[in-house]
Structure 1
Amino acid sequence: MMRLSGPLKALLCAALAIGAQAAMAKAPPGKHIVLIGGRESHAPGEHAHPDGIRVLKALIETSPDLRGVSVDAYPEGWPDDPAALEHAATIIWYFDGLARHPLNDPARREQFGRLMKKGVGLVTLHQSSTLSPDDRAIPLPAWLGAARYGMLNRTDELAELTPARHPTMQGVRPFRYKDEFYPTLRFDTGHGRSVPVLSGPLGIQFQSGKTVAIAPETRTVAWAYERDGGGRAFLFTGAHYLNAFDEPDLRRMLLNAIVWTAGMPVPRNGVRSLAPVQAMGSAQPR
C-alpha cells in the first residue's frame, strides 16, 4: 500500500472536504413545517393552544420517520415576521377562530393567499377553521375544502371513529376517545377534491346556543383536500382538549396529515410518535 507524504495527504483531505461541502450544497433541503398557535382559552386543558403547539413540535422532532424535517413553532400566536412563513412546505393552525381569527388581518390574509397559490399545505385543528357567520373575506373553503361559519352546533362526547382508505389514515385503526366536534361545515365547490377520511356516529348536543339532544348519525370529523392547481389541506374538527394528543391513533393521523400536506410520502404504517410526555422530554430545545 502506497504511503502518502504529509503535504500530499493534507491536499487530499482538503479536496475531500471541498467535495463533501459541494455535495452538501447540492443536497435537496428538508421540508420545513410551521406551527401556529394562539392564546389559551376556556377551562384548563381546553383550547390549550400554546401547549398543543409545543406538543406537536416535540412529536415531529422526536419521530424516527421525520428526520431531516425542520420545524418552527409559534405557540402564542401568528409570527410577527411575515418571512417566517415563506419557506414552509405546510402550515398548521391551532387557535381560536371567529372574531379572533388571525386572517381577519388583511395583510396576513393577502400573504396567506399567495402561499396557497404556491401550493403550500395547510392543516387546521378544531376552531381554527371557524369563521364569523357573515365572513366573505377569507376564502377558507377554497384553501381547505371546508370551513365552519359561526357557532351553529357542536357535540362533546365519547366517539367511536373509523378511518377511511387514504394516505392520511395509513396505520390508523378505529379508535375511541372523548372530544368536542363540529358537525356542520360549509364545503368548497369547484376548487378541488375533498375526501372524508374519519367519521363516526355523533349526535348534536348544542345548537344555536341551546342544549339539544339530536340523535347520532354518521358524521365526518376529518377531511383531506387537494386544491386545483396544487396544494393539499387537512381539516380536523377535534382537539378541543389537550389530552386528545394522548391518543396514539389520533397522533398518527395528525402526523400523517402534516407529512401528506407537505408533499412527502406517508410511511406504509403511518408516522410513528412517542407519547407526548416522552416526546416533550426528548425533544431538543431550539
Structure 2
Amino acid sequence: MAIAPRSLILALACAGAATFLLMSRSPAEPAKSGSGEKKKIVFVAGRPSHAPGEHEHRAGCMLLADHLNKSGMPVEAVVVDNGWPKDEKIFDGASAVVIYADGGGGHPAMPHLAKLRSMADSGVGISCIHYGVEVPKGDGGKTFLDVIGGYFETDWSVNPHWDGNFKPAKHEIARGISEFKIRDEWYYHMRFRENMEGVTPILSDVPPADTLSRPDGAHSGNPAVRAAVLERKEPQHVMWAFERSGGKSRAFGFTGGHFHKNWKHDDHRGIVLNAIAWIAHVDVPTDGVPSKTPSEEEMAANLDKK
C-alpha cells in the first residue's frame, strides 16, 4: 500500500500499481517552488508495533511527509505503508528513501539488500530511523556500513531510554536547530565504518551511567560499551550523516523516534526534516526546513490501531 499525492497515484494506477490514500484528511498539495523538478522522497513505513504512541511508523512517516510537502521546497514526498513495497516501481525517480520500521531479522530491507545498495550506488539518499538502524550482522551489517555508514549491532550497541542533551554539530543538517534536551530510546555505541570514514556525527552526548544498569545482553550492555561510556566518557553519536566516496550518495541514521509525541518537538522533528532534504540533495534553508509545530489533531492522525 502507498500514500501519495493525486498526480503520483494516477501515474501508478496507469502502471497497474495498487495504491490508495490512508490519510484521515486530504493530503497536502505538492510543494510549490521556483524552477526545477521536485525531488521525490519515498518513506517506507513499517508494520504496526509496540504499544500505542510507540513505533508509530505510519503516522510518523505521514507527518514528516506532510510537512515536507507543505514546506514550499522542491520536494514531493510519498509514503509506502506496511513495509517494503510490493511494487518497487515506487522507487523509480526517487532522490531519497527513508525507512522508519522495526529492524533486526524482520527489517523490511533485509530481503532487498541488493536493491538498497543499487539505489545508493545510483545516488539515491538512504536513511533509517530508530529500530530501522538495526540489522543482523553479516550481509545486513556490511550493507548498512556501505550504504548509511553505521548500524545497531547486537552485542555491541545498546537501546536504553534516557534524556539526551544535544548541541548539534555545525552541518547543513543542523541549520535552524537549537540545543535541545529530549527523552527517547536513544540507541548508542553504534557500529560505524572503520575510522569513521565518510561519517559526520550530528547529535552526540555522553549517556548517564544508569543507561548501563541492565545486565549484559544482546541489546542491553557489553564490556566494550561499558568501557567507552563508564571509563572513557566518550560521547555517543545518536544521529550521523554519511557521504559515500565521491559525494554522489548521501545518507543519515537517527536512533530516536521511539515516542510519536516527540515529533511535536520542533528541534527533534526539524533536524530529521533537514536531514531528509540533505540526503535528497535539496539545499537546506538557513533557518531549516519550514515546519510549523503540529497540532494535537495532526499528532493524533493516522495512528495504528493497536
Shorter-chain TM-score tier: 0.7 to 0.9
| Aligned residue number for residue 236 of structure 2 | 219
Seen in structure 2, the aligned counterparts of structure 1 residues 76 and 146 have a Cα distance that, compared at 3 Å, is: same
| Aligned residue number for residue 8 of structure 1 | none
On the 8 A contact 1:191/1:228 being kept in 2, the answer is no
On the 8 A contact 1:86/1:115 being kept in 2, the answer is no
Q: Distance in 1 between matches of 2:197 and 2:86?
A: 31
On the 8 A contact 1:92/1:123 being kept in 2, the answer is yes
TM-score (norm. length: structure 2): 0.75
Q: Distance in 2 between matches of 1:39 and 1:138?
A: 25
Identity of aligned residues (%): 30
Whichever of the two has the greater Rg, that structure is: 1
| Aligned residue number for residue 208 of structure 1 | 217
Seen in structure 2, the aligned counterparts of structure 1 residues 245 and 56 have a Cα distance that, compared at 3 Å, is: same
Among 45, 49, 54, which residue is 1:37 paired with? 45
Q: Compute the displacement of 1:209 (Å).
A: 5.9
| Aligned residue number for residue 272 of structure 1 | 290
Q: Compute the displacement of 1:127 (Å).
A: 1.1
1:161-198 alpha-carbon deviations (Å, 9 max, x no partner) = 11010000011110011101111211123895111111
1:49-79 alpha-carbon deviations (Å, 9 max, x no partner) = 1111111112112224x2x411110132211
| Aligned residue number for residue 63 of structure 2 | 55
Q: Equivalent residues in 2 for 1:122-201 (5 A)?
A: 122-135=126-139, 139-150=143-154, 152-189=157-194, 192-201=197-206
Q: CA RMSD in A?
A: 2.5
Q: Distance in 1 between matches of 2:96 and 2:166?
A: 26
Letter in 2 for 1:92: V
Seen in structure 2, the aligned counterparts of structure 1 residues 97 and 210 have a Cα distance that, compared at 3 Å, is: closer
> Match of 1:90, SS?
strand
| Aligned residue number for residue 29 of structure 2 | none
How many residue pairs match? The answer is 252
1:118-149 alpha-carbon deviations (Å, 9 max, x no partner) = 11101211111101245457511111011112
State whether structure 2 residue 115 is matched by structure 1 residue 111: yes
Q: Distance in 2 between matches of 1:61 and 1:134?
A: 37
For structure 1, the 5+ residue unaligned runs are: 1-26
Among 235, 259, 265, which residue is 2:253 paired with? 235
| Aligned residue number for residue 101 of structure 1 | 107
On the 8 A contact 1:58/1:279 being kept in 2, the answer is no
1:84-120 alpha-carbon deviations (Å, 9 max, x no partner) = 1121101111001111112221xx2222221111111
Q: Distance in 1 between matches of 2:240 and 2:297?
A: 27
Among 247, 259, 271, which residue is 2:277 paired with? 259
Q: Distance in 2 between matches of 1:136 and 1:109?
A: 7
Q: Distance in 2 between matches of 1:145 and 1:155?
A: 22
Q: Compute the displacement of 1:155 (Å).
A: 1.8
TM-score (norm. length: structure 1): 0.80
Q: Compute the displacement of 1:201 (Å).
A: 2.7
Q: Distance in 1 between matches of 2:134 and 2:193?
A: 14
State whether structure 2 residue 87 is matched by structure 1 residue 81: yes
For structure 2, the 5+ residue unaligned runs are: 1-34, 302-306
Q: Compute the displacement of 1:217 (Å).
A: 5.2
| Aligned residue number for residue 54 of structure 2 | 46
Q: Compute the displacement of 1:47 (Å).
A: 1.1
Q: Compute the displacement of 1:248 (Å).
A: 0.3
On the 8 A contact 2:166/2:203 being kept in 1, the answer is yes
> Match of 1:42, SS?
coil
Q: Distance in 1 between matches of 2:274 and 2:60?
A: 17
Q: Compute the displacement of 1:274 (Å).
A: 1.7
Among 52, 61, 78, which residue is 1:72 paired with? 78
Q: Compute the displacement of 1:234 (Å).
A: 0.8
> Match of 2:41, SS?
strand
Letter in 2 for 1:121: G
Q: Distance in 2 between matches of 1:32 and 1:173?
A: 28
